[in-house]
């Protein structure tokens, strides 16, 4: 077995070179990771130099180094943000007490499970996106896909480090399992449903990176508040990279909308399919699907597990200090809509029991900002159509609204009416087949596929027509 050069091969600020036990654990795990990457990482382009950003430190000068790198030779590092001196727990029953540097025995199983669930999403998205490079709409987009892929790989390393460093044999076993589950596998799927959905085309990819990676932002933000300080500091650094993933989604959808508006004006028609474009109602149906799937990732609106995580200081709310309450939530209430007598009715719940819903409400508000930006593109083009987020109860499979026949406008209807409306609300087989027909690679520097507009600027000061991937 080849030893790892810890100063070069795995950039880190956790003293890997000085921790022999951790070195042995990672030396045993790394070959399995390399095999997983070769088999289920990006298809075809493993020997093409890609213009990638690599983190080599957490400070301003170290976290973003750009250069052409072969994907298998990317340096997946392990980084924790700088510690906050005298940091204390910011919420729950232990509010005000010193944070933990080691895992308390009474929370060991729960913390390990939280880390495993987060870690499981990272390789899952790489697996979901494995074939997208074969149909990239430009070299610029191909590079952005690979940047996301390698960063999801780095986030996996971050969670595996925590499992190896703090959870002993059970942590090592769970780290191995992270590479044995696979997205969509019939017998051994990924833990969360959204990460077993296919990402078959670039429209789905842009929706995924806008909506589903935004859920990741809120989950990481909640874990950043954790009383377990190594987890909090790990997630804080991961959020820097997660921002790029959401940018890819937001800007990608904006460029699709821009190109659709151009085709509508050029041909004086709302039906851009004969001209190789993605029509606005189709985009709304894809939006509805990905938004609903991503809402499910927050879990049930009322959750005793989430209440226990919060009370114990394990997982808070993103930007906990911005909430105007006592951060204990024992005496507070929150009104949440429930399905009752065939209608949606408000019902009061103890705030501690609906922490998931608090996160979800902030997420919805955040998502709306992107929808507003896409609508401004349409407004600037003089188009009356406007995108809308569907009601939170629409299309849900988890929580209060699982299976409820609620329209995107929030109306409860009978089952027959709901089933009849689905073809207008969610992507149809014909929609997906049409989108697939447009997915033809366009890999000449500076050129774009006909269904998407070019970006307004390149990456790291490079021009749009730069050779981001050297084929």
- Examine residue 354 and state whether it is found in any structural domain, yes or no: yes
- Examine residue 10 and state whether it is found in any structural domain, yes or no: no
Return the closest-CA partner of residue 224 out of 316, 153, 152: 316
**What's the length of the chain?**
471
Which residue segment(s) compose the domain that 413 sits in?
16-438
Angstrom distances, CA of residue 265 to CA of 276, 435, 453: 14, 21, 14
Q: Is 169 exposed, middle or buried (0-12, 13-18, 19+ CB in 10 A)?
A: exposed
Angstrom distances, CA of residue 353 to CA of 167, 215, 310: 28, 19, 9
Give the per-residue pLDDT at 27: 87
Angstrom distances, CA of residue 442 to CA of 139, 279, 383, 403: 7, 21, 28, 40
What tokens appear for 29 in the block? 């795990």
- Examine residue 263 and state whether it is found in any structural domain, yes or no: yes
Give the per-residue pLDDT at 7: 55
- Examine residue 443 and state whether it is found in any structural domain, yes or no: no
- Examine residue 467 and state whether it is found in any structural domain, yes or no: no
How many domains does the chain contain in total? 1
Give the per-residue pLDDT at 202: 98
- For 203-231, b/e burial (b = at least 16 CB within 10 A) is bbbbbbbbbbbbbbbbbbbbbbbbbbbbb
What tokens appear for 233 in the block? 């500091």
**Do 41 and 24 contact (CB within 8 A), yes or no?**
no
Give the per-residue pLDDT at 376: 98
Angstrom distances, CA of residue 282 to CA of 205, 239, 286: 15, 31, 6
- Examine residue 3 and state whether it is found in any structural domain, yes or no: no
What tokens appear for 397 in the block? 């499979």
Q: Report the chain (471 residues): mean pLDDT per 10 consecutive residues.
A: 61 89 90 96 96 85 86 93 96 98 97 98 97 98 98 96 96 97 96 92 98 96 98 95 95 98 98 98 98 96 97 98 96 95 95 97 98 98 98 97 97 97 98 98 96 97 97 92
- Examine residue 41 and state whether it is found in any structural domain, yes or no: yes
The interaxial angle of helices 229-267 and 355-380, nearest 10 deg, is: 30
Give the per-residue pLDDT at 8: 67
Largest CA distance in the chain: 68
CATH number, domain of 355, equals: 1.10.620.20
- Examine residue 446 and state whether it is found in any structural domain, yes or no: no
**Do 406 and 393 contact (CB within 8 A), yes or no?**
yes
């Amino acid at each position: 077995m080849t030893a790892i050069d810890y100063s070069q091969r795995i950039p880190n600020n956790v003293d890997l070179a000085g921790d022999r036990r951790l070195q042995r654990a990672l030396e045993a795990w790394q070959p399995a990771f390399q095999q997983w990457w070769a088999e289920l990482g990006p298809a075809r382009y493993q020997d093409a130099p890609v213009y990638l950003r690599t983190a080599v430190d957490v400070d301003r000068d170290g976290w973003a180094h750009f250069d052409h790198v072969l994907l298998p030779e990317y340096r997946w590092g392990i980084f924790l943000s700088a510690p906050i001196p005298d940091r204390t727990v910011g919420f729950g029953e232990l509010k005000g007490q010193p944070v933990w540097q080691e895992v308390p025995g009474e929370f060991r199983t729960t913390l390990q499970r939280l880390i495993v669930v987060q870690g499981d999403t990272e390789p899952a998205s790489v697996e979901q996106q494995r074939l997208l490079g074969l149909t990239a709409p430009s070299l610029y987009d191909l590079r952005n896909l690979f940047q996301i892929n390698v960063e999801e790989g780095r986030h996996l390393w971050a969670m595996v480090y925590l499992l190896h460093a703090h959870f002993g044999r059970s942590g090592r076993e769970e780290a191995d399992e992270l590479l044995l589950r696979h997205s969509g596998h019939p017998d051994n799927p990924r833990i969360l449903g959204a990460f077993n959905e296919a990402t078959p085309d670039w429209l789905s990819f842009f929706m995924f990176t806008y909506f589903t990676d935004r859920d990741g932002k809120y989950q990481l933000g909640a874990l950043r508040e954790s009383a377990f300080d190594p987890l909090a500091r790990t997630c804080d650094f991961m959020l820097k990279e997660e921002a790029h993933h959401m940018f890819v989604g937001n800007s990608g959808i904006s460029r699709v909308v821009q190109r659709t508006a151009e085709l509508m004006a050029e041909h004086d028609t709302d039906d851009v399919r004969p001209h190789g474009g993605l029509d606005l109602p189709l985009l709304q149906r894809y939006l509805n699907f990905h938004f609903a799937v991503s809402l499910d990732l927050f879990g049930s609106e009322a959750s005793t597990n989430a209440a226990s995580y919060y009370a114990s200081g394990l997982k808070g709310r993103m930007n906990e200090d911005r909430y105007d309450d006592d951060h204990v939530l024992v005496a507070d209430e929150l009104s949440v809509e429930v399905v009752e007598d065939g209608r949606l009715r408000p019902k009061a719940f103890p705030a501690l029991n609906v922490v998931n819903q608090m996160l979800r409400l902030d997420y919805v508000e955040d998502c709306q900002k992107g929808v507003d930006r896409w609508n401004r593109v349409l407004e600037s083009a003089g188009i009356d159509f406007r995108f809308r987020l569907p009601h939170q109860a629409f299309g849900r499979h988890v929580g209060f609204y699982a299976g409820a026949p609620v329209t995107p406008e929030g109306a409860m209807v009978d089952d027959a009416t709901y089933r009849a409306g689905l073809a207008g609300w969610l992507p149809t087989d014909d929609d997906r087949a049409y989108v697939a027909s447009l997915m033809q690679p366009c890999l000449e520097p500076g050129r774009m596929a006909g269904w998407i507009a070019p970006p307004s600027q390149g990456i790291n000061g490079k021009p749009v027509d730069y050779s981001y991937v050297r084929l």
